[in-house]
Amino acid sequence: MARNSRRRSSLDANDLADYGSVANGTVNVDRAARGLGVPKTEVRQAIRRAEAAQSNTFFRRISGRREADSAEGTSMRGMLQAVFGRGPRGGAVNARAAAQSLGVSPGTVRRWAAGTQQPSSGRLAAIRQAARRVTSTKRGRRGATADFRSSAQGSQALRGGSKIWVSGVQGVGGYEKDYSRDRRVATNIAPSEIEAMLRAYEDGGDSGLRDWMREFFDDKYVDQWDFVTIDDFGIGTPE
């Protein structure tokens, strides 16, 4: 299994891979703290960061909102895109929709997204709360799957099938075996299976999608395939 044993100032999911799977929520905090020589609080913080990064990856890949960010302390542009989507003409943020919701002008929204102006504390709190809801609520996740269905790539995949690929530390047996390493795997996926993937995300959020991926690759790719980390995934040709 691929590892980076060099001590860094900030732990990530790969550092924790010998002690469980962030992707599956099985990291043993006590063992990780002892093995890495860090406080348990640092391990828990690393888990939260990794989970937030994975959540953003899932949302971005399904919705196509490539800069969307729902994690705490992220960029204004990322939060606005997460909540309101991209502009109809390719802009980073749908400024008109954001302006109507937040009671400001589209120009103000554009300045927020560009970082040349900051929202009031009240509006900032509202934007942060709305950004968290895009991944934590079924309504928010349905917005992401609706974007996928309406996109050219998504609609084509739902008509004729495609490829699904996943990058991260993975292999037979997950972290409990020696066959896991950092790699990208891909296999065919049928329209009905894409529909099942989208429903799993809508209904179960990040954990629902992770469980679906594990079962799908176990069945369609290699028996007992499991993920230690999921760093990226997509439908179609990897970028």
- The count of structural domains within the chain is 2
User: What pLDDT sits at residue 6?
Assistant: 40
Average pLDDT over residues 193-218: 96
Mean pLDDT rounded to a whole number for the chain: 90
Q: Are residues 72 and 46 in the same domain?
A: no
Q: Are residues 184 and 233 in the same domain?
A: yes
Residue 127 clears pLDDT 50, i.e. is over it: yes
Q: Are residues 56 and 96 in the same domain?
A: no
Q: Are residues 239 and 166 in the same domain?
A: yes
| 13-54: pLDDT as tens digits | 888 888 988 888 889 999 999 999 999 999 999 999 889 889
Whole-angstrom Cα distance, residue 81 to residue 55?
15
The single-letter DSSP state of residue 176 is G
- DSSP H helices, the chain, are 29-36, 40-63, 76-84, 95-102, 106-114, 121-136, 138-150, 152-160, 191-220
Q: Are residues 17 and 114 in the same domain?
A: no
Residue 213 clears pLDDT 70, i.e. is over it: yes
Q: Are residues 130 and 155 in the same domain?
A: no
Q: Are residues 54 and 81 in the same domain?
A: no
107 or 178, higher pLDDT? 107
User: What pLDDT sits at residue 40?
Assistant: 95
User: What pLDDT sits at residue 4?
Assistant: 43
Q: Are residues 1 and 41 in the same domain?
A: yes
Measure CA of the first residue to CA of the last residue in the chain; give whole Å: 24
In a domain, 229, yes or no: yes
Tokens representing 28? Answer: 């043993």
Structural domain containing residue 181:
1-63+151-239
| 55-85: pLDDT as tens digits | 999 999 999 999 999 876 678 999 999 999 9
